[in-house]
A = this chain, B = another copy of it.
Amino acid sequence: MTNQQVKITDVILRDAHQSLIATRLRTEDMLPGCAMLDDIGYWSLECWGGATFDACLRFLKEDPWERLGKLKAALPKTRLQMLVRGQNLLGYRHYSDDVVRAFIHKAAENGMDVFRIFDALNDVRNLRTAIEATKESGKHAQGTICYTTSPVHDVHSFVTLGKALANLGCDSIAIKDMAGLLMPYAASELVKALKDAVDLPLHLHSHATSGLAEMCQMKAIEAGCQHIDTALSSWSGGTSHPPTESLVIALKGSPYDTGLDLDKLQSANHYFAEIRKKYRRFESEFTGIDTQVHVFQVPGGMISNLANQLKERNALDRIGEVYKEIPEVRKDLGYPPLVTPTSQIVGTQAVLNVLTGKRYETITNEVKRYLQGGYGKAPAPVSAALQKKAIGDEDVMDCRPADLLKPELDKLRQEIGELAHNDEDVLSYAMFPEVGKLFLEQRAAGNLVPEPLVIESRADDAIKK
């Protein structure tokens, strides 16, 4: 074990199935593999986040808090890690600070060890409360740099962000490359600059979408990044992450050797390879390499989303125009990184601009809220003309959006009433008001039925007729 040893966070229990099978992996299929995972010696296992929480309530009819408890019991030796959307927590709006605190504290109490906290705009004000709450719980707060490219995003701006995260008390910093935009030599440069400026461990989370992630990992490691996110090989590649086993092999015998045992990885992988077969229904057709993000600067996941929007309007042939429009809208909005929710905000407006034939003839409510400062501070100044057109003379918030929110936990408790057995239930409702409430109602009625893994085939229907 050298001081250059690389440590692995495996995302098999969160991002891998989120990226590959629409977040459908069930707790019952995770648990039998946990003893094997726990024995590997990972630095952490990512296992919770917005989409997993949502899918539990919406589709699997599992209590996400119960899942967390079961995973904690099954993984006593390994840190559990979650992804938190800063002040949005796992939901889609800004929560008041008391809700953020309560959520983080409860997650910690139920077994979460590492909180990876990000904001779509890289506005650190939206991370502050979550980081503080994590530290209050005595847990590991990981600040996140959402990686993107633009005229205002460069090594210098990311280093400034890294320093701000360190000043907020983060225990480590993650570079989150959600779209596979990172390039190997850029990764090397960024890691070196961050290492020089900030005395915190660096974690790299790079999706395999464009086929560059393995090379980025290699160059990041050589530049001093000692924490890498990977997925066991049977759940790796494509929109997921590079394979764990391959990186472990690649580093074997080098100063970066992870020391992880390939046989143990192979056994765990074998289990999860078998499990994946159950979820065939949720596999997407295309799982290969997609380098379009480097041509259009539009993330792969966003492209399929746009294609669907256009198809619904019989306008798929205009997707080329939309590709060209997206960078324009993004520029007008001050170059936000394209990640939930900014990818939807920019994408939908670009589609409207193309289909109406006149830029910003119609402006979505989300763009208006964005221009009011409702999501936080944009990386660069927004277009003054567009702002004027969208919100006229209305005030623009320059405070942290959550500063305008009163404490709301008590109100949420009252709203959900008897349906909640504890504060965890209240928080489930807070995160997903409709889906969470429905879940609690169904639970009360003894009527929680997970969506089926197999759709009855039409052949069967025919027989029944």
Shortest distance between the CB of A232 and any CB in chain B (Å): 10
Q: How many copies does the complex hold?
A: 2
A198-240 near B? 1/0 per residue, CB < 8 Å: 0000000000001110110111000000000000011011000
Query: Any chain B CB within 8 A of the CB of A453?
Result: no
CB-based contact B236/A288 at 8 Å: yes
Q: Which of A158-172 contact B (CB under 8 A)?
A: none
Please determine whether B250 and A183 come into contact, CB atoms closer than 8 angstroms. yes
Contact among B211, B246, B263, B295 for A262, CB-based, below 8 A = B295
Q: Which of B211, B233, B263, B294 interacts with A214 by CB under 8 Å?
A: B211
Q: Is A305 an interface residue (CB 8 A)?
A: no
A379 to chain B, nearest CB (A): 22
Contacts of A234 in B (CB 8 A): 288-289
**Interface-centre pick from A243, A254, A291 (highest chain B CB count, 10 A):** A291
Q: Which of A161-193 contact B (CB under 8 A)?
A: 183-185
Asked whether B237 lies within 8 Å of A295 as measured between CB atoms, the reply is no
A277 to chain B, nearest CB (A): 10
Whose C-beta in chain B lies nearest to the C-beta of A246?
Answer: B211
Q: Tell me the complex Cα distance, A211–B254, Å.
A: 17
Name the contact of A291 in the complex, choosing from B184, B211, B243, B253 (C-beta under 8 A): B243
Residues of B contacting A217 in the complex (Cβ-Cβ under 8 angstroms): 215
Q: Do A289 and B237 touch across chains, with their CB atoms under 8 A apart?
A: yes
Question: Is the Cβ of A295 less than 8 Å from the Cβ of B215?
Answer: no
Contacts of A184 in B (CB 8 A): 218, 250
Band of interface residues on A: 20 to 34
The reply to whether A233 and B289 contact each other, CB–CB distance below 8 Å, is yes
Task: State whether the Cβ of A266 lies closer than 8 Å to any Cβ in chain B.
Answer: yes
- A269 to chain B minimum Cβ distance, whole angstroms, is 8
The CA of A214 and the CA of B208, in the complex, are separated in Å by 12
Give the chain B neighbours of A237 by CB distance below 8 A.
211, 237, 288-289
Interface secondary structure of A, over-half rule? helix
A245 at the interface (CB under 8 A from B): yes
Q: Does A303 contact B (CB under 8 A)?
A: no
Contact of A215 among B218, B252, B263 (CB under 8 A): B218
Contact B289 A243 (CB under 8 A): yes
**Partner pick for A210 among B212, B246, B253, B294, CB 8 A cutoff:** B246
Nearest chain B CB to A423 CB, angstrom units: 42
With an 8 A cutoff between CB atoms, is A242 at the interface? yes
Question: Is the CB of A290 closer than 8 A to any CB of chain B?
Answer: yes
Does A292 sit at the interface, judged by CB under 8 A? yes
**What residues of B have a CB within 8 angstroms of the CB of A214 in the complex?**
211, 214-215
Q: Which residue among A185, A242, A249, A292 has the maximum number of chain B CB atoms within 10 Å of its CB?
A: A249
Question: Looking across the interface, which residue of chain B has its beta carbon closest to that of A235?
Answer: B288
Chain B residue at minimum C-beta to C-beta distance from A262: B295
A83 to chain B, nearest CB (A): 24
A263 in contact with B295 given A212-B249, A250-B212 (CB within 8 Å):
yes
| 5 pairs, CB–CB < 8 Å, chain A vs chain B | A183-B249, A234-B289, A237-B237, A249-B291, A262-B295
Given A211-B236, A234-B288, A246-B291, 14 extra CB contacts under 8 A: A183-B249, A183-B253, A185-B253, A210-B245, A211-B233, A211-B246, A212-B246, A215-B218, A236-B289, A237-B237, A237-B289, A243-B289, A246-B289, A266-B292
Which of A's residues lie within 8 Å of B, judged by CB?
183-185, 210-212, 214-215, 217-219, 233-234, 236-237, 242-243, 245-246, 249-250, 252-254, 262-263, 266, 288-292, 294-295
Complex A-B, nearest 10 residue pairs according to Cβ-Cβ distance, in ascending order? A211-B246, A233-B289, A245-B291, A214-B214, A211-B243, A243-B289, A215-B218, A249-B294, A184-B250, A215-B250
